[in-house]
Amino acid sequence: MKAIVLEKAGGIENLVMKDINKPTINETEVLVAVKAISINPADAKVRSAEEALKMFYGKPTDVILGWDISGTVVSIGDKVSKFKVGDNVFGMVNFPGAGNAYAEFVASSEDHLAKMPSTISFEEAAATTLAALTALQVLQHTVKKDDRVLIHAGSGGVGHFAIQIAKSLGAYVVTTSSAKNKDFVMSLGADEHIDYKKQAFEEVATNIDFVLDGMGGEVLFNSLKVMRNGGSIISLPTPPPVIEEAQNKAENNVKVASMLVQSNGDDMNTLKEMLANNTLKPTIYKTFPFAEMRAAHTEVEAGRTVGKVIVTL
């Protein structure tokens, strides 16, 4: 099969198309013929950092990046009960770990996948994986009806899903983006928009119960200023020392934490139901063919995407 192998940490030139053997599966895994892959900022960050490669893959060279796939099941392990050959599936495979998604075939635990709704494309399914799971896992047990929620970078991958999920939970959503993306984030259900280039959000937003911060740094510390008593902030991805510093500066019983998304088939099935009933709709910013993976990485690293970047096979 063809796969895109990262020969060593560094720039996009280290992503090389190679012919390698198909993966083998164990008794609880399925083999998926991949139709689409979602590219995340995490992909680029892991690609460029040798320490991250060692953490996720246990080695610094010759790894297959990626976690987000959609495709068709072509074989199943003896103890697989949730899928059969021919099922169209989607999911975030083995995160945090070696997902090996940049390939024509991917082996996945059956517990990391869900069946695709028949009403969506492979591209839309692949888009609704790591970013959507992050938003869901952050919000589903934290936000309740009538909470005032501030979502930073509402037009981004995680942000555009988070707006929709928060609204489905009954929250009042305030979000930040550039002026050019105001109509987009409002169309997702946001109640208030703050143009971060012209307004300091900490001078506009008030009485916030929950903040989803995907920026860190100054944005995290300024978020402390908008909180209601007993509110909470989840900042991702943010190193523990920064979280500790923010918590030490927090007042009014505000809690500050970070979170790392986890592969979870039950949560994927929640996303499946939301897609099926139109509670959730992914936005695809750009699509690239498999041979142009380097260009897809460049697009994601530019940090200006509205929604998701997808690679198709």
Q: E strands along 77-154, which residues? A: 88-92, 105-109, 113-115, 148-151
pLDDT over threshold 90, residue 303? no
The pLDDT tens digits of the residues spanning 243-256 come to: 999 999 999 999 99
Please state the φ and ψ torsions of residue 145, each to the nearest 5 degrees. Answer: -55, 135
DSSP track, 73-94: EEEE-TT--S--TT-EEEEE-S
Which residue ranges form the domains of the chain, and what is each CATH number?
Answer: 2-128+282-312 (3.90.180.10), 132-257 (3.40.50.720)
Going from the C-alpha of 36 to that of each of 24, 72, 224, 261, the distances in angstroms are: 20, 10, 39, 21
302 exposed, middle or buried (CB, 10 Å; 0-12, 13-18, 19+)? exposed
pLDDT computed for residue 158 by the predictor: 97
Section 135-153 average pLDDT: 97
Residue 237: the pLDDT is 82
How do residues 77-130 score in pLDDT, each as one tens digit? 999 999 999 999 999 999 999 999 999 999 999 999 999 999 999 999 999 999
pLDDT beyond 90 at 226: yes
SS3 of 300, please? helix
Q: What percent of the chain has pLDDT over 90?
A: 99
DSSP 23: P
Q: How many C-beta neighbours within 10 Å does residue 256 have? A: 26
Query: What is residue 246's DSSP assignment?
Result: H
Is the confidence at residue 291, as pLDDT, over 90?
Answer: yes
